[in-house]
A and B are shown apart, each in its own frame.
Chain A
Amino acid sequence: EPEVTQTPSHQVTQMGQEVILRCVPISNHLYFYWYRQILGQKVEFLVSFYNNEISEKSEIFDDQFSVERPDGSNFTLKIRSTKLEDSAMYFCASKTDYTGELFFGEGSRLTVL
Chain B
Amino acid sequence: GQQLNQSPQSMFIQEGEDVSMNCTSSSIFNTWLWYKQEPGEGPVLLIALYKAGELTSNGRLTAQFGITRKDSFLNISASIPSDVGIYFCAGRGYGGATNKLIFGTGTLLAVQP
Q: Using a CB–CB distance below 8 Å, which chain A residues touch chain B? A: 4, 31, 33, 35, 41-45, 48-50, 55-56, 91, 93, 98-99, 101-107, 109
Contacts and interface: CB of A to CB of B under 8 A. Distances in A.
B102 interface: yes
Interface stretch (B41-49, B56-64, B77-85): B41-49
Contacts of A41: 105
B65 interface: no
A42 B105 contact: yes
B100 A45 contact: yes
Contacts, number: 57
A45 B101 contact: yes
Given A48-B100, A99-B99, A104 B43 contact: yes
Contact of B45 (A42, A91, A103, A106): A103
Contacts of A55: 97-98
Contacts of B45: 101-103
B98 A31 contact: yes
5 contacts: A43-B88, A93-B42, A99-B99, A101-B48, A107-B40
